[in-house]
Every structure is written in structure tokens, then in C-alpha cells.
Amino acid sequence: GQQPSSLRRYAYARNAMGSEFNLVFYAPSDSLAKVASDSAFARIQLLNNLLSDYLDGSEVNRLSETAGTGQRFYASAILFDILEKSKHLSGKTNGAFDVTVGPIVQLWRRAIRRNYFPDKSQLKEARAAVGYRLVQLRSEDRSVVLKRKKMRIDFGAIGKGYAADDVLKVLKSFGIDRAFLDAGGDLTIGDAPPEKDGWRIEVSSGGGDTTATHVLTLKNCGVATSGSTYRHFDYKGVRYSHIVSPYTGVGLTTHTRTTVIAPTGTDADALATAFSVLGIEKGKKVAKRLKGIEVWLLEQNASKKAHYK
């Protein structure tokens, strides 16, 4: 690596994927920092163009359009890679993180826009089109078949962590290893800053009067915090999270704050979502089976019972 003494700190903030991305790294010159950071943000833009379910014509939306047609979709290496990782993580979490949760997420987005609560038959229909096992991947030719009609892939719970990992790879290709990216709460952390043991990461637990802040010193890992209550839907006094249970089709009403430290940002992002769905008890069981994963500070505060029509 570079001589630590010749390195300077560079920091950038940009909006992407609906969040603020904060990038910090150490580089030997302004010109290298500029090309590296420009390339990093260009990479995020590229990933968004392929993987966003908000963009008409994104690669993932074109894939979803083939659901239930029997058509084989030939995916880019990027799309295929994140699908493989997603399917693997869905399996590891008993489907609590499920990359095919799209139909449920779409149903709720519509309900929030028009301020109604989806009825049982709508929930049932959406749930029937969810199931990571219905995603068939063939690595020989990177082709994908979505086995059931109305299936829809949603990378919302893994995409930012994946993007953060990818950005660190881009920086590495410029010779920059001492880097850190916060993708709106999904972090990927590289080598330590010069003369330091790691990056200082603040994690808060609890809420209201009991909020506590913990400072961790970390390197070469991913960190994700889920269960932030700032994205939610209130209906008749009940707060529904933007994280939904693939099992019930309903937004979570027990709000668990979960911080996961994992070998990569991709793993941390998906697992933090999964542990929110699983809750403390089931989450602990799943966490035990995972290697190299640390789950931190599970904190639950149940709101009132969910409203079912």
C-alpha cells in the first residue's frame, strides 16, 4: 500500500438510490481522489440503472416482466451476481429476507398513496406471487426464469449494501484501500485510516430517553442498521414499517432496531432486514447458524396490534 504519511483524507456526499451516500477515503493526491470518486459515483449510477425497481426499463424490471411466461432472461453479470447472493441470503434467513417480495411492496406503496388498507384477498394474491425458490438461476449462461405470474424482484433490502461493496472494489482498482462508504445506513468499510486501528462507527440503541450511543472501531466489513422508524405508514393509529413480512404480507408493526456486522455490506444489509422480520427470538436462532456474522443490539418496541380488515 501507500505510505500513510503521504495520504490525505477526502470526503464526498451525494444523493443516490433515494439516500445520501457518504464516501470517505485516503488518497495520495487530489487528482487521484477526483477520478476515483467520480468513478465510484458513476458506478452507483450504473447499478441503480440496472437494479432499481423504480425505473421503467431497468434491467431488473425487464426481468420481472417475464414472470410466469416461461421465458428465459439472459442477465448481465451484475444482475446475475446480486440475484445469486440474494437467493442465498433468502435461504439462510428462512425467507425473512426475500428478494421476490416485490408484489407485496407494490401493494403497500399503492395503498399508502391512496390511503387504504389492502384487503385479505389482495394480500393473498400478492403473497402467492412471492417466493425466492421460484427464481431459477442457471449459471452456465447466466439465465433466469421467474416461475410464477406477477412475480417481481425487489432489491430494496440489499441494493445499497451491494452498491457500497462495489464502490470499495472500484476504489481498490485505483489503489485506494483505506475507504468507507455509508449508503444511507448501509456501510461498507475497507482498510483502516492511516495510523488507526479502524473506522469509528457510531451505533445507537434504544429510543427516547433510553437512547445510548456505542462507538465501534471496525475495518474490512459491512455494517447495516435496520428498523429505523422514519419510513413507515400510519393507519388507524398503527405504524407499519416499509419492511414487510413475506409470511403475512403486512408491514412490520413490531419495530426492531437491528445492527448487523458481517463480512460484506451485501450480507449486512440483507441480514439486518431479515432480523427485523424475524424479531429477537427467531433472529437469534438464525444468527447462530451464520458464520462471521455479529448481530448487535436487538431492541424491540411493539406498537399496538396490527389492524386487519
From the list ligand ADP, Mg ion, none, pick the one residue 26 interacts with, judged by a Cβ distance below 5 to 8 Å according to partner type: none
What residue ranges in the chain does DSSP mark as E strands? 8-16, 19-27, 73-74, 135-138, 143-146, 179-183, 186-189, 199-205, 212-218, 221-226, 232-235, 238-241, 254-262, 294-302
Nearer to ligand ADP, 166 or 269 (CB): 269
Phi, psi of 20 (to 5 degrees): -90, 130
Q: Is 165 in the site for ligand ADP (CB under 6 A)?
A: no
Strand-pairing partners, residue 201, are: 216
From the list Mg ion, ligand ADP, none, pick the one residue 123 interacts with, judged by a Cβ distance below 5 to 8 Å according to partner type: none
Nearer to ligand ADP, 47 or 243 (CB): 243
Residues in Cβ contact with 174 at an 8 Å cutoff, skipping those fewer than 6 apart: 27, 32, 35, 36, 39
Q: Which stretch binds Mg ion (CB under 5 A): 122-130, 167-175, 202-210, 270-278?
A: 270-278
Could you say which residues in the range 118-147 bind ligand ADP, by CB under 6 A? none
Q: Which stretch binds ligand ADP (CB under 6 A): 9-17, 40-48, 238-246, 253-261?
A: 238-246
From the list ligand ADP, Mg ion, none, pick the one residue 27 interacts with, judged by a Cβ distance below 5 to 8 Å according to partner type: none
Phi, psi of 63 (to 5 degrees): -60, -50
Alpha carbon distance 25, 219 (integer Å) = 13
From the list Mg ion, ligand ADP, none, pick the one residue 246 interacts with, judged by a Cβ distance below 5 to 8 Å according to partner type: ligand ADP
| Residues in touch with ligand ADP (CB under 6 A) | 97-98, 101, 105, 154, 156-157, 160, 185-186, 226, 228, 242-244, 246, 269, 273, 277
